[in-house]
Chains A and B, each alone.
Chain A
């Protein structure tokens, strides 16, 4: 695959492979690069939409979310700064905001503010700690897969299904403190496993 080839043929390019595609969209309005982004991130956005813990969740809503998110990716591509964020972090934040706006529309809440006003994503700098390390895809997958099942489950409920801590506690029957500590442990674990095993990063920095 094209992406694979690029990955191995260039050594000192941005740490995030998808960043190349984003830059091509931003600079040249490159529909092919955009199509690659769509094929890769579209299904993730759709799964994210389908996972929402809400009565408004539906396949139609998830498809609409994919469209909204991808249109935003296209329109806001120039705000993407590879030195500040990686593409999936950026798209995750866009998907979150689009999902919030969609939900608000469904609930017919009129508001002078959009999610982007309250969750600004287009200039957020990231700290060094995880950003630097998170970009070799394999490492990350490994880090997440190495987490205990119950920690992955709780990360999913919080970040993907959009449940509050109280909702997680209520639905799982776990005390709120346990919910919090599992999240904290998951975070610690991700941090240490990424720091301890930087892998191919050494070659590219």
Chain B
């Protein structure tokens, strides 16, 4: 049972397609876990379709376009790159996470173990995934049992979705599927609650003024490393 869900604004913007790709990744990951939000999103989608269906018929479409379409269907140009897919077994370390969306698997085609995990202190590992848009970094955080992250604040908005295991902070306990948004300036001190490791997807604003390794300073868990 997930408790921490995206609010209606997040879901609406997701359904309307106005979220950035990396934000959408977080919402769609959450939806994989949360039936309540899934049905809410489907309902919003229905609302969108109602409005779509009721658009004023202002735009006319050239009937000749139909032949063009049929022509393209009959003579497909294969410009598409071979579809990326997760290597078999790529998600094995996450096999406990049945509901991992395929999209995350596609972001690590070589498998989770082959990501470049960086050690941040005894209990934390971080691996960056390919960006989906310019403004945000995407990473996986692995917190080992007993791990505590020093209190830190957030320089940009950070979205975290728990993929497996659980962690807690002063505001509560977060379990698989939970969707947490931290605004800039909020501070917290995450702690792993179970005996099993906790893996989270995290998407952070990456303001343009910081580049290269300074970008990493913005990542709250990375920031920890530099304080000690």
User: Are the C-beta atoms of B51 and A35 separated by less than 8 Å?
Assistant: no
Chain B residues numbered 115-146 whose CB sits less than 8 Å from any CB in chain A:
130, 132-134
Q: Are A66 and B52 in contact (CB under 8 A)?
A: no
Is B18 an interface residue when CB atoms closer than 8 A count as contact? Answer: yes
Task: Give Cα distance in the complex from A125 to B68, angstroms.
Answer: 32
B21 touches A89 (CB 8 A): no
Complex CA gap A118/B53 in Å reads: 23
- A148 on interface, CB distance cutoff 8 Å: no
**Does residue B208 face the partner (Cβ distance < 8 Å to A)?**
no
B70 touches A31 (CB 8 A): yes
| CB <8 Å contact, B52 and A159 | yes
Cα distance A126–B47 in the bound complex, in angstroms: 12
On whether the beta carbons of A158 and B12 are closer than 8 Å, the reply is: yes
Q: Which of B44, B69, B102, B103 contacts A70 (CB 8 A)?
A: B69
A38-55: CB near B (< 8 Å → 1, else 0) gives: 110011101110110000
What chain A residues lie within 8 Å of B103 (beta carbons)? 113, 117-118
Q: For B42, give its contact among A47, A70, A124, A162 (CB under 8 Å).
A: A124
Segment among B59-67, B87-95, B167-175, B211-219 that sits at the interface with chain A = B59-67
B43 touches A35 (CB 8 A): no
Chain B contact surface mostly: helix
Q: Given the complex, which residues of A lie within 8 Å of B96, measured CB to CB?
A: none
Which chain A residues border B60 with CB–CB below 8 Å? 43, 46
Number of A-B contacts (CB under 8 A): 175
How many Å lie between the Cα of A127 and that of B66 in the bound state? 34
Known: A117-B102, A159-B47. A46 touches B133 (CB 8 A): no
Give the interface size class of chain A.
35 or more
Q: Does A174 touch B at the CB level, under 8 Å?
A: no
A81: chain B residues within 8 A (beta carbon): none
CB of B188 within 8 A of chain A? no
Say whether B46 contacts A89, CB under 8 Å: yes
CB distance B18 to A158 under 8 Å?
A: yes
Query: Are the CB atoms of B54 and A165 closer together than 8 Å?
Result: no
Residues of B within 8 Å of A167, CB to CB, are 18
Tell me if A44 and B53 are in contact (CB < 8 A). Answer: yes
Asked if B150 CB lies within 8 Å of chain A CBs, one says no
Known contacts A35-B66, A124-B42, A190-B50: A112-B106 contact under CB 8 Å: yes
Residues A160 and B24 in contact, CB atoms below 8 Å apart: no
Quick check: is A187 within 8 A (CB to CB) of the other chain?
yes
**A131-160 interface with B by 8 A CB criterion:** 131, 134, 140-141, 143-145, 152, 155-156, 158-160
- Given A74-B73, A125-B38, A187-B43, 6 more contacts at CB 8 Å? A67-B68, A113-B107, A140-B50, A156-B51, A158-B16, A158-B18
In the A-B complex, the 3 residue pairs with the smallest Cβ-Cβ separation, listed nearest first, are A127-B39, A92-B49, A159-B48
18 examples of A-B residue contacts, CB within 8 angstroms: A38-B65, A46-B61, A47-B55, A51-B55, A67-B68, A86-B49, A88-B49, A92-B53, A115-B17, A124-B45, A125-B42, A126-B42, A126-B46, A134-B46, A141-B54, A155-B51, A190-B47, A190-B50
Chain B residues within 8 Å of A, Cβ to Cβ: 8-9, 12-19, 21, 24-25, 28, 38-40, 42-63, 65-66, 68-70, 72-73, 84, 101-103, 106-107, 109, 130, 132-134
The chain A residues found within 8 Å of chain B, CB to CB, are 31, 35, 38-39, 42-44, 46-48, 50-51, 62-63, 66-67, 70-71, 74-75, 86, 88-89, 91-93, 95-97, 99-100, 104, 109, 111-113, 115, 117-120, 124-127, 129-131, 134, 140-141, 143-145, 152, 155-156, 158-160, 162-165, 167, 180, 183-184, 186-187, 190
